[in-house]
């Protein structure tokens, strides 16, 4: 089937002026990513204040916050979800596009959308979350992220208000048992640590847990690739082995990046999220390692196809994908 024939759904937003993002979109990204980057400073500052003997009050306030949030966690808010969706659907980048190849993603269709690459702050994943084609309000998509993020003040609330949940195995399987759609970033912090500007690098060759779950619950796997993610930030590419070792030992992402005004991503380029055609997994209650390896290989082939078939249009014909 010709490439143009399988593009059943294309959602595009373009800026009307050359050098400035839509102010509404700018506000949405600034508030979302600003909180994302700035919030980890809060517990560090509270602890530092106590250790430096300036004041114990900030640390006591932090303890009170964690105690309260443990018993009364923030709940999803359709209003907040709608506000963020309305902000992020407006065009921040020169052009924002979500392209769904083949069938559209239907509500509660047992679909697992897997995004690559992670990038510094997962801009493609974030904007696809807000889009009409993949957004939670339209597809009942559950967006799952690292549990570490739910332990940080403010990020915790923003994620929960936007119906984002933890990717811990217990919650992963609970959501899949309900047959709800899921969106994840399989590379996680490892992919973030590998991020280099203008390079297409994805940490996925050793990630097979999501394949096992897809088999256990009979899900459709859809490899998704965000073209333009590689241009969103400038990073420090040095000491990669050390950074990966630190990540392996502490599960903390040693990523140093800089964008527009520090926090915001660079914006004078096109960001295109291509959602690949579904790979239907059979329902196997106890998949063997051979079963997992077979469908992992099919997934890798599907991811390469999404990249190779679309790189000339959304990146360059000689672009190379590195799967690590």
Domain count, the chain: 1
| CA 147, 75, 118, 212 torsion-angle sign | positive
Distance CA 8, CA 103 (A): 7
pLDDT higher than threshold 90 for residue 235: no
How much is the average pLDDT of 22-39? 82
Q: Is pLDDT of 255 > 80?
A: no
User: Which has the higher per-residue pLDDT, 243 or 38?
Assistant: 38
Among 134-148, 192-206, 234-248, 301-315, which is the least confidently predicted range? 234-248
Among 38-42, 74-78, 200-204, the least confident range: 38-42
Q: What tokens were used for 131? A: 């889009």
Q: Which long-range contacts (CB under 8 A, 24 or more apart) does 257-263 make?
A: 257/120, 257/121, 257/195, 257/233, 258/233, 258/234, 259/120, 259/232, 259/233, 259/234, 263/30, 263/33, 263/34, 263/37, 263/38
Rounded Cα distance between 136 and 159, Å, is 13
| Chain mean pLDDT for the chain | 87
pLDDT band at 50 (very low <50, low <70, confident <90, very high): confident
What pLDDT does 1 receive? 40
Q: Mean of the pLDDT values across residues 125-129?
A: 89
Cα 281 to Cα 68: distance, rounded to the nearest angstrom: 41
Return the higher-pLDDT residue of 249 and 290.
290
How much of the chain is helix, strand and coil, in % rounded to 5?
45, 20, 35
Question: What is the band of 112 on the pLDDT scale with cuts at 50, 70, 90?
Answer: very high
Residue 14 CA to its chain's centroid (Å): 22
Q: pLDDT higher for 6 or 212?
A: 212
Q: Is the pLDDT of residue 155 over 80?
A: yes
**Residue in 317, 300, 272 with CA at minimum distance from that of residue 7:** 272
Mean pLDDT, rounded, for 207-231: 95
CA proximity to 307, closest of 97, 144, 115: 115
Does the pLDDT value for residue 8 go beyond 70?
Answer: no
Question: In DSSP terms, which residues pair with 114 in a beta bridge?
Answer: 184, 223
- What does the alpha-carbon distance between residue 128 and residue 140 come to, in Å, rounded to a whole number? 13
Most confident of 131-145, 181-195, 300-314: 300-314
Share of the chain above pLDDT 90, in %: 45
The HSE-up count of residue 254 (CA atoms within 13 Å, CB side) is 15
**Quick one: average pLDDT of 147-169?**
90
pLDDT-derived band at 2 (thresholds 50, 70, 90) equals very low
Give the mean pLDDT of 265-286: 93
- pTM recorded for the entire structure: 0.89
State which residues form the domain around 215. Answer: 3-323
pLDDT bin (cut points 50, 70, 90) of residue 21 is confident
CB atoms under 10 Å from CB of 196, counted, come to 15
Please give the pLDDT value at position 27.
83
3-state secondary structure 117-155: CCCCCCHHHHHHHHCCCCCHHHHCEEEEECHHHHHCCCH
């Amino acid at each position: 089937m010709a490439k143009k024939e399988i593009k059943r759904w294309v959602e595009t937003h373009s800026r009307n002026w050359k050098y400035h993002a839509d102010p509404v979109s700018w506000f949405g990204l600034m508030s979302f990513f600003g909180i994302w980057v700035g919030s980890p400073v809060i517990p560090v500052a509270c602890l530092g204040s106590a250790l430096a003997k300036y004041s114990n009050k900030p640390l006591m306030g932090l303890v009170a916050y964690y105690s309260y949030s443990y018993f009364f966690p923030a709940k999803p808010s359709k209003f907040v979800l709608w506000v963020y969706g309305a902000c992020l659907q407006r065009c921040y980048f020169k052009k924002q596009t979500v392209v769904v190849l083949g069938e559209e993603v239907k509500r509660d269709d047992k679909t697992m959308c897997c995004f690559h690459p992670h990038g510094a702050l997962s801009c493609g994943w974030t904007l696809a979350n807000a889009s009409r084609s993949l957004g939670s309000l339209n597809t009942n998509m559950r967006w799952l992220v690292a549990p570490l993020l739910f332990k940080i003040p403010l990020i915790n609330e923003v994620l929960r208000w936007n119906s984002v949940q933890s990717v811990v195995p217990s919650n992963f399987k609970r959501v899949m048992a309900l047959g709800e759609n899921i969106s994840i970033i399989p590379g996680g912090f490892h992919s973030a640590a590998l991020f280099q500007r203008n390079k297409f690098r994805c940490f996925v060759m050793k990630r097979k847990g999501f394949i096992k779950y897809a088999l256990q619950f009979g899900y459709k796997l859809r490899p998704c690739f965000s073209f333009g993610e590689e241009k969103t930030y400038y990073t420090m590419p040095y000491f990669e082995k050390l950074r990966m070792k630190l990540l392996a030992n502490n599960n903390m992402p040693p990523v140093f990046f800089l964008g527009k005004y520090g926090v915001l991503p660079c914006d004078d380029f096109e960001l295109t999220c291509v959602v690949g055609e579904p790979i239907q997994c059979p329902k196997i209650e106890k998949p063997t390692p051979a079963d997992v390896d077979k469908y992992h290989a099919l997934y890798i082939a599907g991811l390469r196809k999404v990249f190779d078939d679309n790189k000339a249009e959304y990146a360059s014909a000689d672009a190379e994908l590195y799967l690590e």
